[in-house]
Structure 1
Amino acid sequence: MKILVGYVPTPEGEAALDAAAAEARLRGASVMLLNTSRGDTYLHTRYANAEELAAAEARLRAHGVEVTIQQAVSSGDVANELLKAAAAEEVGLIVLGLRRRSPVGKLILGSTAQRVLLESPVPVLAVKVPSPHD
Structure 2
Amino acid sequence: MTIETMLVAIGPNDRERVERLAEKTVDIAGPTGADVVLARVFSDDGYDEVKSALNFNDPTTDEVAGRDATVRDFGAVLDEADVTWSVRGRVGDPGDEVVAMADAVDADVVVVGGRDRSPTGKAVFGSVGQAILLSAPCPVLYVGSGTDSE
Give the TM-score taking structure 2 as reference length: 0.72
- Partner in structure 1 of residue 56 of structure 2: none
Matched, 1:83 2:99: yes
Structure 1 CA distance, aligned partners of 2:81 and 2:7? 16
Matched, 1:15 2:20: yes
Structure 2 CA distance, aligned partners of 1:133 and 1:114? 17
- SS where residue 114 of structure 1 aligns? helix
Structure 2 CA distance, aligned partners of 1:132 and 1:121? 28
Residues 12 and 99 in structure 1, CA contact (< 8 A), matched pair in contact too: no
* Larger fraction in helix: 2
1:53 alignment partner, one of 71, 75, 94? 71
Structure 2 CA distance, aligned partners of 1:22 and 1:53? 18
* Gap change, CA 1:71 and 1:131, over 3 Å in 2: same
Identity rate of aligned residues, in percent?
27
- Partner in structure 1 of residue 132 of structure 2: 116
Matched, 1:62 2:67: no
How many equivalent residue pairs? 130
- Partner in structure 1 of residue 145 of structure 2: 129
Structure 1 CA distance, aligned partners of 2:21 and 2:149? 19
CA RMSD of aligned residues (A): 2.8
Structure 2 CA distance, aligned partners of 1:114 and 1:33? 19
* Cα shift at 1:71: 2.2
Structure 2 CA distance, aligned partners of 1:114 and 1:105? 11
Structure 1 CA distance, aligned partners of 2:44 and 2:66? 12
- SS where residue 36 of structure 1 aligns? strand
**Larger Rg computed on CA atoms:** 2
Gap regions ≥5 residues in structure 1: none
* Gap change, CA 1:111 and 1:63, over 3 Å in 2: same
1:17-44 per-position Cα deviation (integer Å, ceiling 9, x unaligned): 3211211113220100011134533237
Gap regions ≥5 residues in structure 2: 51-64
Give the TM-score taking structure 1 as reference length: 0.79
* Cα shift at 1:11: 2.0
Letter in 1 for 2:5: K
* Gap change, CA 1:91 and 1:11, over 3 Å in 2: same
